[in-house]
């Protein structure tokens, strides 16, 4: 597989309908864009319908303003048996300048579903560079942290 096969980039302008009273894009709008880019990436890789099972570590670095050019890039960094771990970065900036800066980062995990709505098998993504191997290790470390957090939360969610 090529680098393009494991990533998706969406580009668009931030519209007035996406902003809050201060003229900045709502965090919820950014989260929706992240989910959409992640979904396109996960389904493109798996060839199956995918559902979001986790979004974590979302970090908003700077605001996105109305009229900014927004670029949402979703890239596979680890695959499990049925899960696809995707790093998503959001960049934005004035379209006249064409200088986009990172505004948001997070990890999103999807599970591919089979025709019966059960978790289905996904093909394995294999890192091919040092950067890819580091991203895979990042995903594995975060997976372990999620397990610890879920154990800690159990008494409060049941």
Instruction: Tell me the C-alpha distance between 96 and 10, whole Å.
Output: 18
pLDDT score of 23: 85
> Which residues of 14-155 form beta strands (DSSP E)?
50-60, 69-79, 83-93, 101-112
Cα–Cα dist 111/14, whole Å: 29
Q: How confident is the model at residue 3 (pLDDT cuts 50, 70, 90)?
A: low
Model confidence over 9-38: pLDDT tens digits? 999 999 999 988 888 999 999 999 999 999
| H helix and E strand count, the chain | 2, 5
Per-position b or e across 130-144, b if 16+ CB within 10 A of its CB = eebeebbebbeebbe
**Cα–Cα distance measured from residue 17 to residue 130, given in angstroms and rounded to the nearest whole number:** 41
**pLDDT > 70 in the chain, percent:** 97
Write the DSSP string, 2-69.
Answer: -GGGGEEEEEEEPPGGGB-TTSBB-HHHHHHHHHHHHHHHHHHHHSS-EEEEEEEEEEE-S--BTT-E
pLDDT category at 5 given cuts 50, 70, 90 is confident
Enter the tokens of residue 39: 């979904």
- CATH 3.10.129.10 fits domain 3-157: yes
């Amino acid at each position: 597989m090529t680098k393009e096969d494991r990533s998706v980039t969406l580009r668009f302008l931030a519209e007035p309908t996406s902003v809050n009273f201060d003229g900045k894009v709502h965090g919820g709008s950014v989260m929706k864009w992240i989910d959409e880019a992640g979904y396109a990436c996960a389904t493109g890789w798996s060839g199956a319908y995918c559902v979001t099972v986790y979004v974590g570590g979302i970090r908003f670095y700077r605001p996105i303003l109305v009229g900014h050019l927004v670029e949402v890039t979703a890239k596979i960094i680890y695959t499990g048996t049925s899960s696809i771990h995707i790093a998503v970065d959001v960049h934005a900036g004035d379209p006249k300048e064409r200088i986009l800066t990172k505004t948001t980062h997070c990890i999103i995990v999807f599970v591919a579903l089979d025709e019966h709505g059960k978790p289905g098998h996904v093909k394995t993504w294999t890192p091919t560079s040092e950067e890819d191997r580091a991203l895979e290790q990042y995903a594995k470390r975060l997976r372990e942290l999620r397990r610890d957090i879920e154990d800690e939360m159990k008494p409060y969610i049941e």
